[in-house]
Amino acid sequence: MTEVVGSFRKSSYSGQQGDCVEVAATTADDRAVRDSKRQDGPLIAVSGRSWQAFLRQFA
């Protein structure tokens, strides 16, 4: 996986309990997704194209 660029962000719909996922851009224009409770845990790499298709489902 390529390197994460910038910082991870949580959805504005996330509550204060921290039970959510976070997303960050990568150097390959992909997205890295992680569990906000396990910030040092594994990442899921999603292509930029797939991420945009995912977002369109909720627009």
Q: Average pLDDT for consecutive 10-residue bins of the chain (59 residues)?
A: 85 75 91 90 92 89
pLDDT value at residue 4: 92
> Could you give the CA distance from residue 43 to residue 59 in angstroms, rounded to a whole number?
25
Q: HEC string of 25-43?
A: EECCCCEEEEECCCCCCCC
> Could you give the CA distance from residue 52 to residue 11 in angstroms, rounded to a whole number?
15
pLDDT value at residue 43: 92
pLDDT value at residue 58: 82
pLDDT value at residue 1: 57
User: Taking the model in full, what pTM does it have?
Assistant: 0.80
> Could you give the CA distance from residue 54 to residue 35 in angstroms, rounded to a whole number?
17
Longest dimension (CA), the chain: 31
